[in-house]
């Protein structure tokens, strides 16, 4: 009995190892961001075993892969983080521009500041950071940052701000008509005053806008457009704002780490997700655009025509490069003072 069970285990181990795919691919992506169907399809198509690990911020990811030897092949940094990683020499030049499916990439995002001509990166998902307002609570015009920084009486004390220093500083700069990453002392002083004046009207600083809105803990919240799409499914009267002062864009990109163990499979993956059918799988899961033309054919009308997803004319997102460290130091001072 004992002998036969050992035999069974050995046989199982053997079969398991023979079932192991030829290649491997180790992906490090944001949490709740990767469609399992996409991974399954890639594994089947190329006989590659994919391992997925998750992170919750660019900074976490970068501090982990900075030293090298992390074992990851692919990471998915946001726009500014791609710029940092290229500058630090952390990425492999995979030349997506010469890949077969590159023709599908939206030309508008090919010559982007962080990777002009796309030598390193392929878009994963992209969106905008703005806010939603429950129009059953407040019926006025919502397309201005005044809703956040000088809120109407109905929304006072019912607002969630993202716990994101950079996003809030940039929103305040837009509202006051200053340039992003301003180092002008007078302008920073005005930003500081604006934030301190508005703080009593804010209920929370949290990334979890979706849950706070669903539980009716707040009636307005800073939020990413894909999350806003999902929030509306739970609370119909929420409307996504396209503030007239400008709107912050973000774009997460698939890049390959320098000296990745599975370089060829990583390149295959970059090409794979530029296929509209596969890009549609990505959007179908986390509800953001993917930057691949033709993918909308494989998505539902409800999604592609949603007000959160289909931007009105003139609402062009701005991708902001990382601020210089002396500006970050001043941001940090204002931010700490705000939250002390």
Contacts to another protein by CB under 8 A: 57, 59-60, 62-63, 66, 84, 88, 157, 160, 163-166, 185, 188-189, 192, 199, 202-206, 215-217, 322, 325, 328-330, 332-337, 339-340
Residue with smaller CB distance to another protein, 21 or 165: 165
Number of alpha carbons in the 13 Å side-chain half-sphere of residue 227: 20
Q: Which is nearer to another protein, 40 or 326 (CB)?
A: 326
In whole angstroms, give the CA distance from residue 335 to residue 340.
Answer: 9
| Structure token pair of residue 109 | 């995002």
Q: Which is nearer to another protein, 294 or 322 (CB)?
A: 322
Taking the complex as a whole, the smallest distance from the CB of residue 75 to another protein amounts, in Å, to: 15
Nearest in space to 226 (alpha carbons), one of 295, 305, 124, 308: 308
Sign of CA dihedral 90, 95, 96, 97: positive
Show the tokens assigned to 209: 């806008």
How far apart (Å, rounded) are the C-alpha atoms in residues 136 and 209?
18
322 φ, ψ (degrees, to nearest 5): -60, 140
Residue 136 beta carbon to another protein: minimum distance, rounded to whole angstroms: 15
User: Which helix (H) or strand (E) element contains residue 319?
Assistant: none
Minimum CB distance to another protein smaller for 84 or for 110: 84
Would you state the structure tokens that stand for residue 199, as one six-digit string?
């703080």
| Nearest alpha-carbon partner for 177 in 148, 145, 147 | 145
DSSP output for 80-132: HHHHHHHHTT-B----GGGSGGGGGB-GGGTEETTEET-SS-EEEEEEEEEEE
Q: How far is the CB of 170 from another protein (least distance, A)?
A: 12
For another protein, the closer of residues 166 and 290 by Cβ is 166
Of the two residues 175 and 202, which places its CB atom closer to another protein in the complex? 202
Residue 84 burial (C-beta neighbours within 10 Å; 0-12, 13-18, 19+): middle
Distance CA 262, CA 71 (A): 10
Is 98:249 a contact under the CB 8 Å cutoff? Answer: no
Q: Minimum distance from CB of 9 to another protein (Å)?
A: 30
User: Least distance in Å: CB of 190 to another protein?
Assistant: 11
Nearer to another protein by Cβ, of 160 and 262: the residue is: 160
* CB 210 to another protein: min, Å: 14
For another protein, the closer CB: 219 or 296: 219
**Minimum CB distance to another protein, residue 266 (Å):** 23
Q: Provide the minimum distance between the beta carbon of 253 and another protein in the complex, in angstroms, as a whole number.
A: 17
């Amino acid at each position: 009995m004992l002998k036969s069970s050992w035999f069974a285990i050995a046989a199982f181990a053997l079969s398991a190892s023979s079932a192991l795919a030829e290649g491997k691919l180790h992906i490090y992506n944001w949490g709740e961001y990767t469609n399992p169907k996409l991974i399954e399809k890639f594994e089947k198509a190329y006989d590659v075993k994919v391992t997925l690990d998750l992170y919750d911020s660019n900074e976490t990811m970068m501090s982990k892969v900075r030293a090298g030897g992390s074992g990851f092949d692919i990471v998915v940094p946001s726009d500014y983080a791609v710029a940092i990683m290229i500058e630090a020499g952390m990425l492999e030049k995979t030349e997506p521009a010469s890949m077969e499916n590159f023709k599908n990439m939206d030309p508008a995002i090919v010559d982007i500041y962080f990777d002009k001509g796309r030598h390193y990166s392929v878009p994963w998902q992209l969106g905008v950071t703005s806010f939603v307002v429950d129009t059953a609570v407040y019926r006025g015009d919502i397309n201005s940052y005044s809703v956040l920084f000088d809120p109407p009486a109905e929304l006072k004390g019912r607002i969630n701000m993202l716990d994101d220093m950079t996003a809030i500083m940039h929103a305040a700069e837009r509202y006051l008509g200053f340039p992003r990453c301003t180092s002008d002392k007078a302008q920073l002083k005005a930003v500081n005053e604006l934030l301190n004046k508005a703080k009593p009207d804010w209920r929370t600083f949290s990334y979890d806008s979706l849950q706070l809105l669903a539980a009716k803990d707040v009636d307005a919240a800073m939020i990413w457009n894909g999350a806003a799409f999902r929030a509306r499914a739970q609370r119909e009267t929420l409307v996504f704002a396209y503030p007239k002062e400008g709107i912050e864009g973000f774009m997460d990109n698939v890049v390959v780490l320098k000296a990745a163990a599975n370089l060829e499979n990583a390149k295959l993956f970059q090409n794979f997700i530029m296929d509209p059918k596969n890009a549609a799988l990505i959007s179908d899961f986390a509800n953001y655009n993917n930057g691949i033309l033709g993918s909308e054919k494989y998505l539902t009308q409800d999604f592609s025509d949603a007000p959160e997803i289909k931007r009105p004319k003139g609402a062009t997102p701005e991708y902001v490069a990382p601020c210089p460290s002396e500006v970050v130091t001043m941001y940090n001072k204002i931010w700490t003072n705000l939250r002390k």
